Chains A and B, each alone.
Chain A
Amino acid sequence: MQCIINDETFTFDEELTVSQLLEQMEIDPDRIIVEHNGTLIKKEAFDSHIVRSDDRLELLEFVGGG
């Protein structure tokens, strides 16, 4: 399946949870904020929240700023 992450197309073998997606992309879930189709996803829901084909994800983080 294909989905759009930060405006770029990524391909995965099958539908997967947010946790699985982050694992496959080797992203530390502790430092990430996930927005799925415009809705912010709570960290507690990463294991159960399913990402499907054509979905849009924003992977955000906090950075230094003033």
Chain B
Amino acid sequence: MLKIGDFEFNSRLFLGTGKFSDEETQTKAIEASETEVLTFAVRRMNLYDKDLPNPLANIDLKNFTTFPNTAGAKTVEETVRIAEIANHAGVCDMIKVEVIGDDKTLLPDPIATYEACEILLDKGYTVCPYISNDVVLARRLEELGVHAVMPLASPIGTGRGINNPLNLRYIIEQANIPVIVDAGIGSPKDACYAMELGADAILLNTAVSGAEDPVKMAKAMKLGIEAGMLSQEAGRIPVRYTAQASSPAEGLGFL
């Protein structure tokens, strides 16, 4: 059982809802993933194309733990404002604090992230910041009181998998709060690897919505994360430099 603040989850897959081709595919992918947590964003309505497809409009968010992001925010003020809007609308069980500090890499601004978390914690939110693989920032955010940290695997939407397993491992080993690996997951092996490294959960979006068959990939991700979690609990063998025979060395006298 995964606990984040007052929330408890059986599933360790948190699913983003962006960039699905159509509503039916999204609905089936959500079902196949067996996720309990959905992430989404706040945007201005397009006033000239009000019938623009919005698959999210047809999902009953009451059936999920709502986890809006603050994507699009580049300042502390914008981040807090987006959180307040989501909270006002009654769909902000937890907030993913995402403050982009670089337009090219979409890497987060660590200072603005810290300051926004401080304000949102004061306001009583369940706060989960998206961060780079910064071990010290992760520790400082935990000391501040955030409910989970969300270090990236690799930059958003790249599908490059775990770019910095060493730092990710450092973050996981020091953490007394859940670590959710977020962004850059490309395939189930990445998600499995993150779980084997000791992550508590995975947040992914494009890896599913951008797959040729998003529904099948949603199931594959679920299974990959479950496999990684089982492996984490089972304890893998150490990596050795030299070969060690699996079959007995004795009893070969007949050869």
Contact = CB atoms under 8 A, between A and B. Distances in A.
Contacts of A25: 47, 50
B16 interface: yes
B255 to A, nearest CB: 59
A32 B43 CA distance: 10
B211 interface: no
Interface in B66-91: 68-69, 71, 84-86, 88-89, 91
Nearest to A61: B45
Given A33-B42, A33-B88, A33-B89, A64 B47 contact: no
Given A40-B88, A64-B17, A64-B18, A6 B47 contact: yes
Contacts of B18: 63-66
Contacts of B54: 31, 61-64
A27 B57 CA distance: 13
A63 B42 CA distance: 6
Q: Range of interface residues on chain B? A: 35 or more
Interface in B197-243: 203-206, 209
A27 B50 contact: yes
Contacts of B206: 66
A24 to B, nearest CB: 12
A33 B39 contact: no
Contacts of B39: 65-66
A40 B43 CA distance: 14
Contacts of A35: 85
B44 interface: yes
Interface in A34-66: 35, 40, 42, 58-66
A8 interface: yes
A33 B43 CA distance: 10
Interface in B36-55: 39-45, 47, 50, 54-55
Interface of B: 16-20, 26, 39-45, 47, 50, 54-57, 68-69, 71, 84-86, 88-89, 91, 156, 183, 203-206, 209
- Which A-B residue pairs are the 3 nearest by beta carbons? A66-B16, A66-B205, A65-B41
